[in-house]
Amino acid sequence: MILRYTRDHEWIRVEGNIGTVGISDYAQQQLGDVVFVELPEPDREVRKGEQAAVVESVKAASEVYAPVSGRVIEANDRLVGEPELVNRDPEGEGWFFRLELADAGELDGLMDAEAYRAYVESLD
C-alpha cells in the first residue's frame, strides 16, 4: 500500500493497480463544512492534474484534481447523501473515487505522508 499527497491537498492510496482518492484532513479543515460533492462518472478517463470532482463548502466551491492519470472505476456515492463524511473522516470513509492507474510512475512526483506534513506546516 502506498499513500501519497499532492500540493493541492488530494491524497491517493494505491493497492495493486487501484488508487483511492480523497482530500486531506488539512484540506477539509480549510474548506469548513462540506455540503455538496460532485463526483466523476465511472469509466471516465482522467489525466494527472485534471479536475475530477468538486467539493462545495457552505462558503465556496473547490476543485479536486486527479493525483495521477487513470480510468475512474467507482465513485463514493455515500457522499451524495452524506457530504459531511468529508469533514468527519476525510482520509477514510470520506474518499471521493477510485481509479485504475494508467502509469504508476506518476506517483513518484507526489509527497509521502511525512513530506506532506512538512509542506502543510510550511503553509501556516
Partner 1 sequence: MSDLATTPLHALHRELGARTVPFAGYAMPLQYEGIVAEHRWCRAHAALFDVSHMGQLRLRGAAAARALERLVPADLEGLAVGRGRYTVLTNAHGGVVDDLIVGRDGADTFFLVVNAARKTADLAHLRAHLPAEVTLKTLFAERALLALQGPEAEAVLRELLPGVEALFFMDAAWFTWEGVALRVSRSGYTGEDGFELSVPAEAAETLARRLLADPRVRPAGLGARDTLRLEAGLCLYGHELDEDTTPVEAGLAWSIGRRRREAGDFLGAEVILRQLREGPPRRLVGLRPEGRAPLREGAPLRHRGTPVGRVTSGAFGPTVGGPVALGHVRADLAAPDTLLESELRGRPLAVRVVPLPFVPHRYRRRGARP
The footprint of partner 1 (CB under 8 A) covers 32-33, 35-36, 38, 54, 56-61, 83
Place of cell 469509466: 43
CB 54 to partner 1: min, Å: 7
Q: Is the CB of 53 or the CB of 99 nearer to partner 1?
A: 53
User: Helix, strand or coil for residue 45?
Assistant: strand
CB 101 to partner 1: min, Å: 26
Q: Is the CB of 38 or the CB of 100 nearer to partner 1?
A: 38
Cβ atoms of residues 75 and 81 within 8 Å = no
Q: Is the CB of 36 or the CB of 119 nearer to partner 1?
A: 36
Contacts of 47 (CB under 8 A, 6+ apart): 66, 69
Q: Is the CB of 78 or the CB of 113 nearer to partner 1?
A: 78
Of 65, 55, 62, 10, give the one whose Cα is nearest residue 34. Answer: 55
Integer Cα distance of 20 and 96 in angstroms = 8
CB 55 to partner 1: min, Å: 11
CB 30 to partner 1: min, Å: 9
Place of cell 509521502: 112
